[in-house]
Structure 1
């Protein structure tokens, strides 16, 4: 007697969770769908997601697939990057779902033998430690810096209050700001920001702004 055929198993059933990762790892919780992970990166809580955002699909059995960021990050040039707008989420979700189905069913992609996803290999502090403060600026950034001033770009020198507020915003606490202000900085030739602030507050303020906007050179 012929046994009834089993209905095909949806390959997406192998995925049990998703994870959204930004530069400060603000979303450690597992998520049920790619859409939820994408919305985390698009939220106000995310930090520099357009520069370093990742979304990972975790598979049963301890393996994972990193979803290519070209699905949700739009890049132009060396330094310009933006997340897809919320209005395109439906389209992006369909594209990612199709990609996942293909990856999980292709015979040349054996996820059962894939290397388990490694722990995120870098943090903000590790990235800063690798930066060369003497490295030349990318051409696009240099062009922007060389553009003549228009309007009120040149403002009065920042006050100590301005600097402390900017540092607290960057490090998300007074304690974190104090630790950074009292630590030697490569970009300040090994001097501490709190010492340099007395002589050149603009230099310290500019350094904080570069760190906040992801310009490490």
Structure 2
């Protein structure tokens, strides 16, 4: 009986890098594997990864794909949590199979990599050079002090998240943050936070007051 053919890994040749996102973008570096990105969200450095965690795979040619969060975030009722490390092998295998299919089918979900928050493709390229200086926007973010709600005229990410949870509940807030909205030029709040943080906060407040649709 002939042996089974090994899986075709040619799809991996189109993968440029991975990146993990949490609410405060504490992992700006490009990563070689999905497992490394997952371990970032599992680490103690991650900020509210169960509420805002995202993993993006960057493709050669300037495109990118969001890894579906159900692979690495478990949802049970109103409680969500990043998968535990002991499940990493299983999760990585599942993501690899999904990514292979998505690339073979030339997934229509692929986005222009320059629209993925907050890094641009040229930032990722620079960060692959260990001698390259950190971009100004990342330096500014890393040196920003924690800001409480007392400075509400200049809202921070935490203000937006807290207001969204209060207005919609945690589950709906997570979904809302990642869904395109007509009042944001059909972009998701997560993407628009980098462009106009105050506008996103105003929209959350309007939702809470019933003046805008979820």
Which TM-score applies when normalising by structure 1? 0.52
Give 1:118's aligned residue.
Answer: 115
Give 1:29's aligned residue.
Answer: 29
Q: Quick check: 1:103 aligned with 2:134?
A: no
Partner Cα separation in structure 1 for residue 108 and residue 161 of structure 2: 35
Report deviation, 1:77: 1.9
Listed as ranges, the gaps of 5+ residues in structure 1 are 1-7, 141-217
Q: 1:102 to 1:77 in 2, by over 3 A?
A: same
Aligned length: 129
Q: 1:85 to 1:131 in 2, by over 3 A?
A: closer
Deviations 1:16-71 (A, max 9, x none): 11001111111000000000000010001111101110000000011101100100
| Structure 1 ranges of 4+ moved more than 2 A | 113-117, 129-133, 135-140
Listed as ranges, the gaps of 5+ residues in structure 2 are 1-7, 119-140, 142-154, 172-214
Q: 1:45 to 1:115 in 2, by over 3 A?
A: same
Report deviation, 1:136: 6.6
Alignment of 1:6-25 (within 5 A): 10-25=10-25
Q: Which has the larger radius of gyration?
A: 1
Report deviation, 1:114: 4.3
What RMSD in Å do the two structures reach over aligned CA positions?
3.2
Alignment of 1:67-82 (within 5 A): 67-78=67-78, 80-82=79-81
Q: 1:11 to 1:138 in 2, by over 3 A?
A: closer
Partner Cα separation in structure 2 for residue 85 and residue 17 of structure 1: 23
Give 1:87's aligned residue.
Answer: 86
Deviations 1:91-125 (A, max 9, x none): 00000000000000015x257x843351427x981
Report deviation, 1:132: 4.6
Partner Cα separation in structure 2 for residue 136 and residue 60 of structure 1: 39
Partner Cα separation in structure 2 for residue 31 and residue 14 of structure 1: 15
Partner Cα separation in structure 2 for residue 9 and residue 132 of structure 1: 44
Partner Cα separation in structure 1 for residue 24 and residue 81 of structure 2: 17
Which TM-score applies when normalising by structure 2? 0.52
Deviations 1:126-162 (A, max 9, x none): 45157559x578599xxxxxxxxxxxxxxxxxxxxxx
Partner Cα separation in structure 1 for residue 108 and residue 163 of structure 2: 40
